[in-house]
Amino acid sequence: MARIDPDALFVDAYREYSPGVCGYLRTRGVEDPEAVTQDVFLALYPRLGDLRGGPAGLRTLVFTIAHARAVDSHRSRGRTPVSIEYDPAWDPRLTESAEEQALEGMADGLALLKNLTEDYREVLALRIIAELSLESTARIMNKTPGAIKQLQRRALARLKEAQQESKGQGRS
């Protein structure tokens, strides 16, 4: 049986999964999702030699590490000083930056997600953003695939309700 080159596998995994990992971490509220994405892949590299399960196993391993790093990030946030938010009143520029415009577009979606319970946000992040299977999501969240189906259905229904409520308030 031919051995897979771990360096090539790592490069392929990074190209394939890093955008999804970063998006997953961002929706989980990680303070610096790009840095934590790098940590995920640094933790992945030494484990590539023992990888089982082909591409699905690799994807599950990547998002299992990402989940653990998100939990670590939230735990460490409780032990670190609060960072100060950006205040546009103190910004002397006359035009918005491209980053501000991009973040503005994401703000509505993130606000809707913040109103969901932790389990709802987690299942949506793993199933939709990370595109994990029911089984992989169930393993990461320590639930059954049936429970994940129900949780996802309820989360999507709640998200739809919240979106309709926010649209209704906007018309007032």
Res 109: pLDDT: 67
d(CA 67, CA 5): 26
Per-domain residue ranges of the chain: 1-79, 107-164
Sign, Cα dihedral of 99, 105, 107, 113: negative
* pLDDT score recorded for residue 172: 45
Q: What is the pLDDT along the chain (172 residues), one digit of tens a residue?
A: 446 788 888 999 999 999 999 999 999 989 899 999 999 999 999 998 888 888 888 999 999 999 999 999 888 877 766 667 777 777 666 666 666 665 565 666 677 777 889 999 899 889 988 889 999 999 999 999 999 999 999 999 998 888 888 777 654 4
CATH numeric code, 107-164:
1.10.10.10
Residue 76's pLDDT is 81
Enclosing H/E stretch for 148: helix 145-171
Residue 131 Ramachandran class (φ > 0 left, ψ -120 to 50 alpha, else beta): left
User: 120 Cβ partners below 8 Å, 6+ apart?
Assistant: 151, 154, 155, 158, 159
Distance CA(37)–CA(19), nearest Å, equals 9
Which two tokens mark 56?
Answer: 């699905």
CA distance 55 to 133: 12
Regarding pTM above 0.75, the answer is no
If DSSP codes are grouped into helix, strand and coil, which group holds residue 144? coil
Closest CA to 58 of 15, 110, 104: 15
pLDDT score of 129: 83
Fold classification of 1-79 is: Rna Polymerase Sigma Factor; Chain: A (1.10.1740)
